[in-house]
Structure 1
């Protein structure tokens, strides 16, 4: 049995059948394992998992082995590169297999089981958050603005908005965790 490291990549990318066959035998265990692990949470059938693994090989040889030709041994080992390609292909496969959804406007309200209750607004103790944290939470949640809008409004970097938001949530979690019975 041929090892992945023994595969002649130039011959493989040139489309030689014997080299391709040896590559498939050598790469199958790795590709199958990565695809299986990547799809473990998608609840797909065994046939779907095998189809996803087959899809990896199809991607590698499509368009004159275009994807395979992008492999750069200076950046990663072949098995590492194949694992990344396999995971990406598996996730794409699972996304294509997702069940079709209906627009929410087409679903009867009774099927949604939505209750029309007003949620009580969380009362944040005075002084728990900084003024900036409180303002950012107000903009993000009360005014339903996105991070870019808040950053533009406050004339700060979007990463500052995300960081401040994160720190505010940490403070809130810590405070309300202490109050819980």
Structure 2
């Protein structure tokens, strides 16, 4: 396969679709944007601590605002994904501020540290990382801990075995099973 045939990892440029929505109220372009971003925005909001129903409601509101304010989008300032994820984030923060009693314990999650913010250029990558974190959290506690130590703390199998007082073969087999489980679950996603 030549480099011309290789699939691009570059994100799609949605600015032409946004221009069609802004200028002509193009429903087909809006539906393409909606179909692509709706599940990602929901996932992003769930990663910020919003319950499933609230995440879906806020994502719907974000998509409605995209439709209503499409003319306010400036492709020179940001990607469509950045603009949309920022709308969703602001809606989430506004909801928490309006309903503090229903979101006890979430106050710490609203205090965003600039360094912890997802890179606006990679908001979709952030949503995917939230999805991966949920998959890792669903593993057994031993497997989840080993995955975190191996991949996120960059520890060798030998270092993990020593730190946890586990036989090296046990560490390797647990990691292999955890990796296969993650790979199967992620591979099964549409």
Quickly name the TM-score band, shorter chain normalised.
0.3 to 0.5
TM-score of the pair, normalised by structure 1: 0.42
TM-score by length of 2: 0.41
Q: Report which of the two structures shows the higher radius of gyration computed on alpha carbons.
A: 1
